[in-house]
């Protein structure tokens, strides 16, 4: 069975400035969502991060389904009415329109969705943040998919041991998209060097101290033999996990290989690219899922 996870969030009012929603506002949103469980939804969880209320919904309707987005819109509208009655700060500030038009994109709330074939064991994690920069998730994703001292499965699992491929965007390049694809563990030091200060790295804010241009074009040769070519047995095909942020402000991108059993996400079409060899690429963001547009 194919399952869809929809994460929708909005700031519809908070106590004493940008702090957190009131219990009554949160309860009003939860009430609307709970009524849809068992019919429209398989399950749901409502929580807040800072003053943003987040709806985590599981269902079988697919990505960008109007009924799912309309449910979220209704929940946020009900919560907004409570926020107005309580006189909360910024009541309804993320609801930019007065009426639902079939999709939440462009109406204010932020959306991240993915559809996949559910496996017998299918754990997942939602990373949420408020009042932060696009690279807020760089360090936890790096630790999970590249650091064996943090994630022991990288050593213990035959499916994970070949490693993962990171697609890293240079946010300092504002005229066009500029990114590089680096394989871990082969280019582990370069990936770590691109972590900004405050996110486990040593570079300046943005992408590293010298940006992508500061990296060597070719990875160092492996001791005792030729470097394994990308795409040979052992190197897993790339799958997308996280995509860029809002329009005009793309965020860092991590693209990783599947778990080994019915991979999650959408496979990237085509063979090895120049970026896999360490050459900076510029251009579009093909096949990259947008998260929180």
Tell whether 286 and 191 lie within a shared domain.
Answer: yes
What range does the domain containing 81 cover?
Answer: 2-117
* CATH number, domain with residue 84: 3.30.70
Report yes or no on 168 lying in a domain.
yes
Q: How far apart, in whole angstroms, are the C-alpha atoms of residue 47 and residue 70?
A: 19
Model pLDDT for residues 9-48, shown as the tens digit of each residue: 999 999 988 999 999 999 999 999 999 999 999 999 999 9
Tell whether 94 and 175 lie within a shared domain.
Answer: no
Q: How far apart, in whole angstroms, are the C-alpha atoms of residue 113 and residue 284?
A: 21
Q: How does DSSP assign 92-117, residue by residue? A: TTT---SS--S-STTSS-EEEEEEEE
Considering the entire predicted model, what is its pTM? 0.66
Based on its alpha-carbon atoms, the radius of gyration of the chain, rounded to whole angstroms, reads 21
Q: How does DSSP assign 171-212, residue by residue? A: TT--SS-EEEEEEETTTHHHHHHTSBTTTTS-BPSSSTTT-G
Tell whether 177 and 221 lie within a shared domain.
Answer: yes
Tell whether 108 and 157 lie within a shared domain.
Answer: no
Report yes or no on 223 lying in a domain.
yes
Q: Which of 40, 37, 41 is nearest to 58 (CA)?
A: 41
Tell whether 274 and 222 lie within a shared domain.
Answer: yes
DSSP structural state of residue 227: P
Tell whether 113 and 138 lie within a shared domain.
Answer: no
Q: How far apart, in whole angstroms, are the C-alpha atoms of residue 48 and residue 21?
A: 8
Tell whether 168 and 273 lie within a shared domain.
Answer: yes
Rounded to an integer, the average pLDDT of 154-159 is 93
Number of structural domains (the chain) is 2
Q: How confident is the model at residue 289 (pLDDT cuts 50, 70, 90)?
A: very low
Tell whether 50 and 107 lie within a shared domain.
Answer: yes
Kindly give, in sequence order, each residue whose CB lies less than 8 Å from that of residue 115, ignoring residues fewer than 6 positions away: 2, 3, 4, 5, 62, 63
Tell whether 7 and 112 lie within a shared domain.
Answer: yes
């Amino acid at each position: 069975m194919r399952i869809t996870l929809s994460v929708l969030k909005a700031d519809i009012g908070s106590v004493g400035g940008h702090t957190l929603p009131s219990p009554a506002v949160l309860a009003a949103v939860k009430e609307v969502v709970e009524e849809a469980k068992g019919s429209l939804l398989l399950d749901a969880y409502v929580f807040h991060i800072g003053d943003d209320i987040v709806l985590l919904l599981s269902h079988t309707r697919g990505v960008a389904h109007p009924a799912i987005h309309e449910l979220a819109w209704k929940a946020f509208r009900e919560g907004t009415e409570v926020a107005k009655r309580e006189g909360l700060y910024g009541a309804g500030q993320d609801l930019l329109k007065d009426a639902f038009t079939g999709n939440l994109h462009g109406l204010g709330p932020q959306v991240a969705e993915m559809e996949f074939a559910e496996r017998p064991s299918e754990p997942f994690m939602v990373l949420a943040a408020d009042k932060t920069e696009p690279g807020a998730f760089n360090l936890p994703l790096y630790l999970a998919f590249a650091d064996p001292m943090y994630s022991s499965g990288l050593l213990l699992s035959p499916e994970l041991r070949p490693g993962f491929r990171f697609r890293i965007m240079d946010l300092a390049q504002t005229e066009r998209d500029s990114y590089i694809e680096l394989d871990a563990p082969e280019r582990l030091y370069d990936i770590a060097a691109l972590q900004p200060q405050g996110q486990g790295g040593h570079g300046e804010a943005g992408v590293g101290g010298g940006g992508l241009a500061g990296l060597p074009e070719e990875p160092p040769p492996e001791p005792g033999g030729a470097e394994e070519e990308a795409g040979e047995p052992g190197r897993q095909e790339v799958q997308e996990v996280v995509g860029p942020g809002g329009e005009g402000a793309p965020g860092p991108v991590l693209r990783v290989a599947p778990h080994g059993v019915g991979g999650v996400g959408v496979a990237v079409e085509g063979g090895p690219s120049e970026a896999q060899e360490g050459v900076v690429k510029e251009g579009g963001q093909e096949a990259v899922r947008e998260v929180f547009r």
